[in-house]
Every structure is written in C-alpha cells, then in structure tokens.
Structure 1
Amino acid sequence: MSQNPRRGSPRSLVQLLALALGVWLLLVPRPAVAAPEAVTVGIYVNQVASIDLKNNAFTVDFWVWFRGPHRATSPLDAFEIIDGRVNSKANIIKKTLANGEDYAAMRVNATIHRHWDLRQYPFDDHDLEIAIEDADLDATRSVFVPDPESQGKDPDVVVSGWDIEGFDHRIDTHLYHSNYGDTSIADTAETHYSRYVVVLHAKRRGSARFLKVAFALLIAVLVSWCAFFIRPKDASPRVSVSVGALFAAAAGTLAINSQLPDVNYATLTDKTVFLCLGMICLSLVGTVASLSLHYLGREADHRRLDKIGAVVFPLLFFVLFFGVVR
C-alpha cells in the first residue's frame, strides 16, 4: 500500500519564516539616527594671573566663544570649566550671524585646579590646561569643533618667574561612568561628553629660583664646614657653629615646605635638604670626634682628623650635590 508524501515538517516551516523575516528587515528602511550638532568653539588667553603651587591652582583670564546652530540653551550658558570655577564673567555677546548661526562670546576669569608634578622643583615645568564641556548636551547630541584660525594667546602673557610658551588644543570625548540618574541622557550607566582642551606650557625662567630656595641651606653647610678650622680647645664655639648651622637649615626647610603642597614623594628640593642636613650632621660628628681625641690627649690624631675633614667635607658635598641636581 502506498503512503501519502509529507507536505512539510515544523522545522522547515520555521526556517521559511526566519528567511522571510530576514528579507523583511533588509527591505524595511531603518529610522535615521540624528547626527550630533557641531559647535565651533575657541579660546583666546589674555593673561595668566598667577600660578599657585601651594594650593594646586592657577588663575587665567580668557575669551571663549561658541558658533553653531540655534538651540534653546546657548552653549555660553551651558558650558562648564573642568576642575575649575568662574570668578567673573564680562563683555557677554550674543547675536545671529549672516549665515544663520548663533554666535556667543564672553570674557572669563577662572581659577583652575591642577595636581602639579613637583619632583623637579624648583626646576619644574608645568602644563596649564583649560578644559570646557557642554553641561547641557552629551556627545550624542553636541560635539565641539575647534576654531584654529581665531584661537590663541596674547603675546604679552607674563607670569613672574615663568615663561608661558605654546598654545596647543585638542578635542576629547570624556567618559563618565554614570548618567547621574537622568535616563533621558542615556539608558546605561555611562555617558560621553565632548571636551575642548587648551594647553599652555609654563617653564621656569633661569636658575634664580633654586638659589633663592637653597641659599640658606648652602650657607648653613658652609658654616658647618668652618667648624673644622676651630681648635678643639675652643669647644663651645666649635659645637655652637655646627648646632647653629643645623637649626638654620631646619628653619630654611620649614620656609621651603610652606611654599609647597603636601606630596607623597621627594622633590629635588627635598633631596637637597636631606643632603644639607646630612652634611651638617656629619660636621657635628666630626666635631665630637675631634673633641674626644683632644680630651684624650691625642693631639696629632685630632689635627689629622680636622685636616682630612676640611678637605673631604667640601669635596663630598659637591659630588653629592651635583649628583642630586643634575
């Protein structure tokens, strides 16, 4: 007896349906994703008022402007300075250009916080960064575009003790690992914002700063060296010279530390302080040893020790000193 052929299996029907769905997805046009609006931004630095190493900050005066399509909230009202605060705003300009774009500009005085790298202080150089973001729209809706023809810095920018060189800029997309609870910004725990960054380079002017910082320490070491030329029988003046030099160096150290923030590494100045204090202590040890030999009646030995100390002490100091500051 013949059997009726099978017209189809459930598996073949599923495959046909999947194929039809795939063709439909290819043919049906997808909704276009709106591109973020481009906002042209620029900064012109008028002056760097101060560089404050102690408080990890610098104060800068600059013009900032935005140019782009019209929107409800102007970028001039929505931008924020990263790690900084606006001290004052002046000369606010808002208008519509002939091409229909909105233009907004103003003069800003701001204090911006930076974590300085002070390992080479006082031969340190630093980058002064001015970074701004649009606090209203994330990078899916607004991105910055630099204005290289108009941005820059005034050639008369001067900071006492520093040379302000160069003017670099870049556009970053900064990632924040939060949407700050606003699901209209993003439905994930991450948001991206366009960031415009301007970098000025502050370089130390000459070596005068080092002499001002270390002068008291160097004098204290010189005074402690003089102890080797005082006769052991003048015990009180000889000990007083070394002890006085030690206290002078300690006072100089306090003055240096008052100019810098607390850091968890040794700066070049710290290394110089350690060297100077160590040499003064070495002079004090030599003084005590020479006095001990004198009281024991070993005159030839204490004279020999003083002569060796008078020669070796400065040589050792200069070798170690140039090893530290090179």
Structure 2
Amino acid sequence: MTTESRHEDTLPRSSRVTAVVLPVVLLVVIGAACALRLPAAAATAVPPGRAGPVRCELSAYVSDLYDIDPAKGRFSARLWLWTICPDKSADPLPKISYANADDPNPSEPNIIEQDGHVLDQVRVQSSFRQEWDVRNFPFDRHRIEIVLTAPQDTNHFRFAVNNADAQVNPEIRPEGWRVTGFRLVSATKHYTTTYGDHSLKDGSTYDRVRIRIDLERSSPTIFWKLTIPLYLAVLIAVSTFLISSRREELETTARLDGVYNRLGVLGGGLFVVVLNMQQANDVITSPSGLTLIDWLHLATLAFLLLAVAATVLAWSWTSRGGSPTRAEHVGHRGAWLGLAAYVVVCGTLVLLAARG
C-alpha cells in the first residue's frame, strides 16, 4: 500500500515538471534561432545616410558667346562651371548632362578640398540648340539657355544655384547682338520612365539649372539691306503713274506702248520683290509665323499687283472711249494715295514689331 501510494504521487509531479520545462526549452530554441539570424540581418541592413537628397552649390561664368545663328537654331558658348559639394562622391560635374548641347567638350576637372567641402571647376565649350522667334526682326529680343541636368533624381540630388557669384564676361560683343541680362534659374524635369529604378513610382524627376542669357539686336543694318529694294520698287512704280504725256490725245499705238512700258516696269518690280523675299528667308526664318520682313514683302507685292490692275483697267476704259486725260489724272491721284497708304501700312507694321 505504501509503495503504490508513493508511485501514484510521483506521476502527477513528473507531469508538472514536463509542463514547466517544455515551454522553457521552446523559448531557448526560438531564441537561438533568432540569434543565428541576427548577424545576417545586420549584414544586409543599409546604414542610414544623409537626411534627404545631397545638395551641391552650382554657379557659372560665361566667358564667350559666338556663332549666334537664328536661321540654324544654334549658338556657341564657352563657360566655366563650378560646384561646391559636401564630399567628392557627391560631385555632379563628371556626370552632368548638357541637355541642349550638340557636342560638349568639358576640360579636365580642377578639384580643390577646402573648409570641409569639395570645389570642382570645369570649362565647357559647345554649340547649343535654341528655338528662336524672329517675327519682330530687327526688334526681336531673345532669351537663350544652356540647360544642365543632374545625374541623379531629386530623391538623391538637388542643385543650389548661386547667382551672386554667377557672371557673364562684360567684354562679350557678339556680332550684331547685345547682352542685356544673365541669370541662373532652378527647374525640374519629369520623365514618365523610371530608367529601370523600380523603387520609383510614376516616373522620375531630375533637377535642372537653366543658364539664361538675354539678347537683343544691336544694329539694324541687315534690316535696311533687306527692305531698301522694296522701297525702291514702290517708288519706281509710283513714278510710272506720275509721268505726264503733255498731250490731250495720243494715238492708240503710242498709248499701248506706254502701257507696255509701265507693265514691264511693274513686272520687273515684282520679280525683284520675289527674289528679295527668297534671300530674306535664307537670313530670317521663323517656324512660328510670318516675320515683319515677310509682311513688308507681302505689302509691297500687294501694292505692285494693284498698280498692275490699275494699269489694265485704265487701258480697258480708254480703249472703250474713255478720256485718256482723265485716266491719267486719276492715275496721278491714285499713285499718291497708294503711296500714302503703303507708308501707313508699313509704318504700322514696324511700330507693332518695335513694341513687341
């Protein structure tokens, strides 16, 4: 009885021990597994970097500006760029993109470490693409740009422009142009693609700096070269109407010769205007509409065509019995009125272009 009683007492005690030890063993096993995984997790974890994107100060000095050609949509420039970054790895100049450059030729970088920052200087020379609006030539004003794009998206890199140190060479004298302004402007460019970076959503955005140079024409010489033939054609056309026959009546043959001569002069004027218009298009072209030069040519063509029409109508009227003297008088008055209207139209076009 005693032995059986002791045996019955030990079974419940063993169960209680098992109930206590088993959870402890499980905790130890789980803890060991976690301990084995921690080093791997620590090895793959990315150490925290800087708060926000890296920022580098950028400035520029335009030393030369040349080969300004609106007809080809190009200009050329030579400039210095420099950046001040917290460290060399953040320097954007080696990988910066010149968005509108044809074939940029940067010099070797000049890197200087100072005051805990890295200064990088580089000289760049290239021709640059530019859209031009020459509709108001020779009163057109332009803002040309050199566009720089950061090598990394805005999540990792941003420019900080320094206009206080940015300058343009005051000795720059582009042929036919005058520099009227200079400024660096911050901007961004959004692309719908992520360029393979799956961490980005809805495309990618890159920081940009626009180096803006304001220009205006310094000489109207080309304008006068292109328009003087128009004015001469109009004056010669007017003179053919002002020549008096000094006779009350002329024979039909003589009057017909006069008509032929006038039509020959007017036809020559039309040929000169059309030829001059083609030459002007080689110098001044605008994809955005008609230029002031185009409007002046069209006004001159309209004047000469009206003169041709007036000559034909006058001949038709006199050939049906109308008075040649009266036709000549009307022709004189019409020539003066036509010249006055031509001057008013051309003057208005020039004033509108000058006001921009």
Whether the TM-score (by the shorter chain) exceeds 0.5 is yes
Question: Distance between the aligned counterparts of 1:235 and 1:153, measured in 2?
Answer: 62
Given the alignment, which residue of 118, 129, 133 partners 1:113? 129
CA drift at 1:206:
4.3
Given the alignment, which residue of 157, 171, 181 partners 2:186? 171
Aligned AA (1:130): I
The corresponding residue for 1:253 is 277
Which shows bigger deviation, 304-313 or 72-81? Answer: 72-81
Q: Do the aligned partners of 1:56 and 1:261 also contact (CA within 8 Å) in 2?
A: no
Question: Distance between the aligned counterparts of 1:87 and 1:68, measured in 2?
Answer: 23
5 Å matches for 1:1-326?
Answer: 34-72=51-89, 74-90=91-107, 92-134=108-150, 136-183=151-198, 186-230=199-243, 232=255, 233-261=257-285, 263-297=287-321, 298-326=323-351
Question: Distance between the aligned counterparts of 2:103 and 2:179, measured in 1?
Answer: 22
- What is the SS of the residue equivalent to 2:336? helix
CA drift at 1:225:
1.6
Which shows bigger deviation, 227-236 or 263-272? Answer: 227-236
Question: Distance between the aligned counterparts of 2:168 and 2:50, measured in 1?
Answer: 38
Bigger Cα Rg: 2
- What is the SS of the residue equivalent to 1:54? coil
Aligned residues: 292
CA drift at 1:116:
1.3
Q: Do the aligned partners of 1:172 and 1:195 also contact (CA within 8 Å) in 2?
A: yes
Question: Distance between the aligned counterparts of 1:262 and 1:151, measured in 2?
Answer: 32
Question: Per the alignment, do residues 73 and 206 of structure 1 end up closer, same or farther by CA in structure 2, a change over 3 Å counting?
Answer: same
Aligned AA (1:49): Y
Question: Distance between the aligned counterparts of 2:67 and 2:282, measured in 1?
Answer: 17
CA drift at 1:260:
3.3
Q: Deviations over 1:50-99 (max 9, x none)?
A: 22111112111111112202244742211111222234333x23323222
Q: Do the aligned partners of 2:83 and 2:93 also contact (CA within 8 Å) in 1?
A: yes
Can you give the 5+ residue segments of structure 2 that lack an aligned partner in the other structure?
1-47, 246-254, 352-356
Q: Deviations over 1:83-139 (max 9, x none)?
A: 22234333x2332322232222121112221211222122111001112111x2111
Q: Do the aligned partners of 2:166 and 2:184 also contact (CA within 8 Å) in 1?
A: no
Question: Distance between the aligned counterparts of 2:326 and 2:291, measured in 1?
Answer: 40
Aligned AA (2:201): T
Aligned AA (2:302): G
Which shows bigger deviation, 94-103 or 150-159? Answer: 94-103
Q: Do the aligned partners of 1:227 and 1:287 also contact (CA within 8 Å) in 2?
A: no
Question: Distance between the aligned counterparts of 2:175 and 2:303, measured in 1?
Answer: 33
Can you give the 5+ residue segments of structure 1 that lack an aligned partner in the other structure?
1-30
Q: Do the aligned partners of 1:176 and 1:190 also contact (CA within 8 Å) in 2?
A: yes
- What is the SS of the residue equivalent to 2:103? strand
Q: Do the aligned partners of 2:269 and 2:304 also contact (CA within 8 Å) in 1?
A: yes
- What is the SS of the residue equivalent to 1:83? coil
Q: Deviations over 1:206-237 (max 9, x none)?
A: 43332122122222222222221345442322
Question: Distance between the aligned counterparts of 2:176 and 2:99, measured in 1?
Answer: 26
Q: Deviations over 1:271-306 (max 9, x none)?
A: 111111101111111222233334344213311221
CA drift at 1:322:
1.3
TM-score of the aligned structures, taking structure 2 as reference length: 0.76
Aligned AA (2:69): D
Q: Do the aligned partners of 1:227 and 1:238 also contact (CA within 8 Å) in 2?
A: yes
Q: What is the identity percentage for the equivalent residue pairs of Structure 1 and Structure 2?
A: 23
Q: Do the aligned partners of 1:56 and 1:116 also contact (CA within 8 Å) in 2?
A: yes
CA drift at 1:310:
2.5
TM-score of the aligned structures, taking structure 1 as reference length: 0.83
Which shows bigger deviation, 290-299 or 99-108? Answer: 290-299
- TM-align CA RMSD: 2.1
Question: Distance between the aligned counterparts of 1:149 and 1:93, measured in 2?
Answer: 22
Q: Deviations over 1:180-218 (max 9, x none)?
A: 3332xx421321111111211101124333212212222
The corresponding residue for 2:24 is none
